[in-house]
Amino acid sequence: MTRIAAEGAPTVVRRLYDLGFGPGTVVEVVRRAPLRDPVVYRVKDYEVCLRRAQAQCVHVAEGER
């Protein structure tokens, strides 16, 4: 389950919502770059790559697998 932090930059927050990172969305980590930045996430039916600074706006609660 996810939610977006409102304290992030408004343009980043809006873009994350547009990419599907809305409340209740299931997000899965697919792979990480060798230096752990950026990270590829599976959101809904596609994959998106985010840098750590962008991903810090997304708060995730662990769910059932």
Count of domains in the chain? 1
- Please report the pLDDT score of residue 63 as a whole number: 66
Considering the domain boundaries, does residue 34 fall inside one?
Answer: yes
Considering the domain boundaries, does residue 65 fall inside one?
Answer: no
Sign of the CA dihedral running 54, 44, 26, 33: negative
Q: Which domain holds residue 12?
A: 2-60
Q: In degrees, to the nearest 5, what angle opens at C-alpha 46 toward C-alphas 48 and 50? A: 10
Nearest to 51 by CA among 33, 63, 64: 33
- As a whole number of angstroms, the distance between CA 39 and CA 26 comes to 16
Per-residue tens of pLDDT for the chain, all 65 residues: 667 776 677 888 889 889 988 888 888 999 999 998 999 999 989 999 999 888 888 887 776 65
For residue 53, what is the domain's CATH number? 2.30.30.90
